[in-house]
Amino acid sequence: MAKAIRDGAGKFSYHYPFHATIVTCHGKGKDNAMAVAWHAPISLNPPLYGVSISPRRFTLEQILEANAFAVNFMPLKYAELVAATGGSKGSDVDKFEKFNMEKEESVKINAPILKKAYAAYECELYDHATLGDHEWCVGKIVTVHYDKMAFTDKDLLDLTKVDPALYISGENYVTTLASSVRHLERNEYGNK
């Protein structure tokens, strides 16, 4: 494989794909939803999950006001919904009404959970910091919603039942193939 070297980050897309998620929140008197591709688990104890949001987004104002948000993991068949929530402004439009988004009640926070998500984390805002041109919002996961049929008995996503929406940058979405899954024991391979 021929490799190139360049200064800086280039198009800043070499780290994709990322799971396409929709972050939901309630603040400023309304529910809102926004596509977020930059997110990550941070800690198991306590259970922390982070999302990166531009300070220009209405969603950030709402999260900071409410001290809470939810992360909704979407299947590929709803990629259009992910794109729609990322391509419209929550300060200007009710995205739930405009895109006919069905919501479920949260248990411990005041943020809607998307009915079409196969899993969702309810997060209380644990910390936030400005890092470069984005705000890193860290949530403590207080409740998990999930479709039992979407997961195996070992709590792994069952790719024969769900095609997760993955964002690969440039407004492109893909998914995984169940046949591509390889189980590799770290200890076995680490001791070779």
What is the tens place of the pLDDT at every residue in 44-96?
Answer: 999 999 999 999 999 999 999 999 999 999 999 999 999 999 888 888 889 99
Residues 6+ positions from 24 with CB-CB distance below 8 Å = 31, 32, 33, 69, 70, 72, 103, 111, 112, 113, 114
Is the pTM value of this prediction over 0.85? Answer: yes
Q: What pLDDT is recorded for position 17?
A: 84
Residues of the chain with pLDDT under 50: none
Q: What pLDDT is recorded for position 172?
A: 80
Q: What pLDDT is recorded for position 113?
A: 98
Q: What pLDDT is recorded for position 14?
A: 77
φ/ψ (deg, to 5) at 48? -120, 140
Q: What pLDDT is recorded for position 63?
A: 97
Question: Residue 24 in 3-state DSSP?
Answer: strand
Determine which helix (DSSP H) or strand (DSSP E) holds 173, and give its type and residue range.
Answer: strand 173-174
Residues 6+ positions from 115 with CB-CB distance below 8 Å = 101, 102, 103, 104
Q: What pLDDT is recorded for position 87?
A: 85
Q: What pLDDT is recorded for position 2?
A: 82
Q: What pLDDT is recorded for position 185?
A: 83
Q: What pLDDT is recorded for position 9?
A: 75
Q: Which domains does the chain have, with CATH numbers?
A: 18-190 (2.30.110.10)
Q: What pLDDT is recorded for position 181?
A: 81
- Position 152, amino acid: T
